[in-house]
Structure 1
Amino acid sequence: MENRREAIRGVAGCVVAAAGGAAGMLAWAPYARRGIFGFEGESEWDVVWFGLPVMTLGGIAAGITLFTLVQGKWRQALGAGVLLTALIGFGVVFDVLAGPPPNCDPC
């Protein structure tokens, strides 16, 4: 009976992590449109190369953090929270969701 309960928890954890990753991708989508099809055809591929992994991994880390908090595993939740904080810090420092700068030079 205990093995079955552990298996169900494992599957639930995978589902929560996958849902978090999908939520991260959905949150990233508006930035992708602005970065790939930017202002006056200016593309910013850093939004894809850096923004997509950071948002996806951030969604996964947020899902795992919530899942471990619900289970009452505080140390594991703290570790996942540290990972989530590091991803947020990386995203802010390197401005991974910045689109192309607008070109305001007079012709």
Structure 2
Amino acid sequence: MGQRTQAAGGCLAMALGWGAGLAVWSVGVRARFRRFEQAPDWSVLYAELPLALLGGTAAGLALWALLARLGRRPGGRPGGRPGGRLRG
């Protein structure tokens, strides 16, 4: 993979992870926001939301790094033989 492809893949993984974190956080947010005697629970916004976004981003980037690592062969060339030409 080229450097631009790797950079684009990392940015895409980060954006998808951010979106997944936001989607997970948004499930049942209204019920969590009005917890105790109908008073707003602001920790839902200033604590849970950033943690969900950072967690989703970290999970997306970790998955991207794992897939990038698994895509490489022992010779350092993706899909090729170590130091040799591809036969076809």
TM-score using structure 2 length = 0.69
Dislocated runs of 4+, deviation >6 Å? none
Identity %: 31
Aligned equivalent of 2:66: 69
- AA partner of residue 21 (structure 2): G
Larger Rg, first or second structure (1 or 2): 2
Aligned pairs (5 A) from 1:86-105: none
Q: Shift in Å at residue 58 of structure 1?
A: 0.2
TM-score using structure 1 length = 0.58
Q: Secondary structure at the match of 2:41?
A: coil
- AA partner of residue 18 (structure 1): A
Runs of at least 5 residues in structure 1 that lack an aligned partner in the other structure: 74-107
Give the CA RMSD over aligned residues: 1.9
Q: Secondary structure at the match of 1:72?
A: helix
Q: Aligned partners of 1:66 and 1:40: how far apart in 2?
A: 41
Aligned pairs (5 A) from 1:28-43: 28-38=25-35, 40-43=37-40
Q: Deviations over 1:33-57 (max 9, x none)?
A: 1222446522211011000000000
Bigger mean CA deviation after superposition, 7-16 or 39-48: 39-48
Aligned equivalent of 2:54: 57
**Count of aligned residue pairs for this structure pair:** 70
Indicate if the aligned counterparts of 1:35 and 1:47 stay in contact, CA closer than 8 A.
yes
Which one of 37, 45, 48 corresponds to residue 48 of structure 1? 45
Bigger share in helix: 1
Runs of at least 5 residues in structure 2 that lack an aligned partner in the other structure: 71-88
Indicate if the aligned counterparts of 1:19 and 1:60 stay in contact, CA closer than 8 A.
yes
